[in-house]
Amino acid sequence: MVDATTRFFEDLDRREYEPLLAKSSGILRWDLQEGARTTHWLLRIDHGRVQVSQEDQEADAVVGTSPELFDDLATGREDGIAALLRGDLAVTGDLRLVVQLDRLFPGPPDTRGPRRHFGAHGEVR
């Protein structure tokens, strides 16, 4: 069985072009750390053209987190910007790439439409 993380990266690689990244260029590496083991996912982005590999190479931005948190990001159970602000993602390098990639993660499973709706007191509906 393929996990959500592998499915996310394989789907992104299969697309080859992602319009949401049309204004983005750079290399972003995700380091998923579990104990002494680190799994690397490298994204080469060139104005929307995306190539994915599992290389451990230099990158413009490197994001470190746990495999569990990335699975939550890939399934929409967790929000990337919120995780970043909480310190659950360790980022070095070009933060813009990380923020731009956040647009590719799905919203919460029960969200309808392209945006979240906020109630009178800021709660998400």
Reported pTM: 0.82
Digit-coded pLDDT (tens) for 63-94? 999 999 999 999 999 999 999 999 999 999 99
Q: What is the 3-state secondary structure (H, E, C) of the chain?
A: CCCHHHHHHHHHHHHCECHHHCCCEEEEEEEEEECCEEEEEEEEEECCEEEEECCCCCCCEEEEECHHHHHHHHHCCCCHHHHHHHCCCEEEECHHHHHHHHCCCCCCCCCCCCCCCECCCCCEC
Q: What percent of the chain has pLDDT over 70?
A: 85
